[in-house]
């Protein structure tokens, strides 16, 4: 295994391990908290959402950023950082605006179809996202945060698989490390026990599937961020 590929593997394994360790640790702390007398729960701040989001930020965004900028172990193209129309293309030909227009049309088509499928899937599962929607300000913040964390996290995992197996096959093989991370997360098994949790998992899976198709068609991370943000705001 050559050094650039080895670097990618090391970063990926480190990220998966940290993600699983974070999830297991938070679940363990929550279990202990239920057994501690209420007057001794001074460390309850560990269950505050800020800790969970901070840990997710580290393994989903900080690690890829270090691997990309500090170590040079990743590539902009593999991550999906397509140049904007007003920027020169690194490679390739054709009208820049036309390329983005075609990519945008693909994104809107996938957005429309995914919205229909998710609406049907959520209805069939007995879930209703509108019942749990916070106010618009909170929704904007949550949708922005989750879109950024999800898409960069997935792009980081996908970059290695695309390097090995190409765009079409690698984009689906990335489901393996993502599935391992999901199945070893205790929160996943907690979510499947209630309707709201299942609703969240269905929506998350639908967004991942739609993002994968969009990446195969466009390799455009910016449009994938827009896709997830819009789906989360629906």
Does 108 have pLDDT greater than 90? yes
What pLDDT was estimated at residue 135? 59
Give me the residue spans of the domains in the chain: 3-233
Question: pLDDT tens for residues 40-82?
Answer: 555 566 666 777 788 889 889 999 999 999 888 898 889 999 8
Question: pLDDT tens for residues 82-102?
Answer: 888 887 654 554 578 898 999
Q: Which residue has the higher pLDDT, 209 or 120?
A: 209
DSSP the chain: --HHHHHHHHHHHHHHHHHHHHHHHHHHHHHHHTTS-GGG-GGGGGGSHHHHHHHHHIIIIIHHHIIIIIS--S-HHHHT-PPPTTS--SS--S-HHHHHHHHHHHHHHHHHHHHHHHHHHHHHTT--GGGG---HHHHHHHHHHHHHHHHHHHHHHHHHHHHHHHHHHHHHHTHHHHHHHHHT-HHHHHHTTSHHHHHHHHHHHHHHHHHHHHHHHH--HHHHHHHHHHHHH-
* Average pLDDT estimate for 184-197: 87
């Amino acid at each position: 295994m050559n050094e650039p590929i080895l670097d990618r593997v090391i970063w990926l394994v480190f990220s998966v391990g940290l993600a699983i360790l974070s999830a297991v640790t938070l679940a363990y702390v929550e279990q202990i908290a239920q057994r501690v007398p209420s007057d001794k729960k001074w460390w309850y701040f560990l269950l505050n959402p800020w800790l969970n989001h901070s840990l997710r930020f580290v393994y989903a965004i900080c690690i890829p950023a270090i691997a990309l900028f500090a170590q040079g172990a990743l590539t902009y193209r593999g991550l999906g950082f397509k140049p904007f129309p007003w920027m020169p293309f690194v490679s390739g030909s054709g009208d820049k605006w036309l390329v983005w227009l075609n990519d945008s049309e693909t994104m809107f088509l996938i957005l429309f179809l995914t919205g229909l499928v998710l609406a049907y899937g959520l209805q069939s599962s007995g879930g209703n996202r509108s019942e749990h929607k916070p106010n618009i300000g909170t929704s904007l913040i949550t949708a922005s945060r989750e879109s950024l964390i999800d898409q960069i996290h997935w792009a980081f995992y996908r970059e290695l698989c695309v390097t090995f197996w190409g765009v079409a096959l690698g984009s689906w093989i990335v489901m393996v490390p993502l599935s391992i991370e999901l199945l070893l997360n205790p929160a996943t098994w907690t979510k499947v026990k209630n309707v709201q949790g299942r609703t969240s998992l269905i929506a998350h899976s639908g967004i991942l599937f739609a993002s994968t198709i969009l990446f195969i068609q466009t390799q455009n991370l910016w449009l994938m961020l827009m896709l997830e943000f819009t789906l989360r705001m629906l």
